[in-house]
């Protein structure tokens, strides 16, 4: 009889312990959460979960100020990308207005990336690295060129072959691994305007 009572007690304890262990395992799967001991009830430890608030902040180098590089070719205008749709290529991050645009980019990034690392094409022709405006662009022979202003864009278009040739030569001096990107964290608010006001 004592053996039967000992067996039943051991079985009950095993069930309680296995239930407690599985709850602890679930808590550990929900990282970053911390179990906090609340108290003991009949030998069983009761835990509650509390968010720690610690997050890993990844810094990213954002290209084209978050505008979709594929949209220039498909829609003929600058379109803001969505924070949730992105790809990283050569250490810089591009955002996209749609998953279809992301897929196209991922298949052939060189086709869509801006020339001269996203710096102003006309100023590059004059040997200068100048920030560009993602809404001022020019597509020539299947390549994307961004410029710093509408006036500069018209100067580039006056003689595109000469200007692009000069810019190509100057770009070699700066190096093809130089990008006109902005460093941001995914933890920051969307830095390029509200996603609800997409163009």
pLDDT, tens digit, 9 for 90 and up, residues 144-166: 999 999 999 999 999 999 999 99
Which tokens hold the place of 47? Answer: 């835990």
Number of domains within the chain: 2
Whether the predicted pLDDT of 49 surpasses 60: no
Q: pLDDT at position 31, please? A: 34
Range of the domain at 29: 2-51
Query: How would you list the strands of the sheet with 59-63, edge to edge?
Result: 82-89, 92-96, 59-63, 181-185
- Alpha-carbon distance 131 to 151, whole Å? 14
Residues 156 and 78 placed together within one structural domain of the fold: yes
pTM score, whole prediction: 0.65
Residues 137 and 190 placed together within one structural domain of the fold: yes
Residues 118 and 177 placed together within one structural domain of the fold: yes
Contact 121, 146 (CB under 8 A): yes
Residues 15 and 75 placed together within one structural domain of the fold: no
- Alpha-carbon distance 148 to 151, whole Å? 8
Residues 10 and 100 placed together within one structural domain of the fold: no
Q: Identify the band that residue 1 occupies on the pLDDT scale cut at 50, 70 and 90.
A: low
Read off the pLDDT of each residue in 122-148 and give the average, rounded to a whole number.
Answer: 95
Q: pLDDT at position 93, please? A: 92
Residues 119 and 74 placed together within one structural domain of the fold: yes
Closest CA to 86 of 190, 176, 196: 190
Per-residue pLDDT of 61-93, as tens digits, reads: 889 999 999 999 999 999 999 989 999 999 899
Residues 77 and 47 placed together within one structural domain of the fold: no
Give Cβ neighbours of residue 85 (< 8 Å, ≥ 6 apart): 95, 96, 97, 98, 99, 101, 102
CA quadruple 118, 120, 126, 130: dihedral sign? negative
Which tokens hold the place of 99? Answer: 């998953």
Residues 93 and 166 placed together within one structural domain of the fold: yes
Residues 42 and 70 placed together within one structural domain of the fold: no
Residues 98 and 163 placed together within one structural domain of the fold: yes
Residues 71 and 150 placed together within one structural domain of the fold: yes
> 10, 35, 51 — which closes off a domain?
51
Residues 156 and 68 placed together within one structural domain of the fold: yes
Q: Which DSSP symbol is given to 114?
A: B
């Amino acid at each position: 009889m004592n053996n039967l009572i000992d067996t039943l007690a051991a079985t009950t304890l095993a069930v309680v312990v296995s239930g407690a262990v599985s709850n602890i395992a679930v808590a550990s799967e929900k990282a970053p959460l911390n179990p906090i001991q609340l108290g003991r009830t009949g030998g069983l430890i009761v835990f509650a979960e509390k968010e720690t608030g610690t997050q890993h902040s990844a810094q990213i180098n954002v290209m084209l100020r978050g505008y979709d590089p594929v949209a220039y070719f498909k829609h003929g205008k600058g379109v803001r990308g969505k924070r949730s749709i992105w790809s990283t290529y050569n250490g810089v991050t591009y955002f996209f207005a749609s998953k279809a645009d992301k897929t196209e980019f991922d298949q052939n990034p060189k086709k869509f990336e801006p020339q001269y690392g996203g710096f102003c094409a006309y100023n590059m022709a004059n040997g200068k690295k100048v920030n560009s405006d993602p809404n001022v662009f020019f597509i020539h022979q299947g390549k994307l060129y961004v410029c710093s202003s509408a006036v500069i864009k018209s100067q580039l278009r006056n003689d595109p072959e000469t200007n692009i040739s000069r810019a190509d030569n100057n770009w070699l001096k700066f190096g093809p691994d130089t990008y006109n990107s902005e460093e941001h964290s995914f933890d920051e608010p969307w830095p390029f305007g509200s996603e609800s006001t997409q163009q």
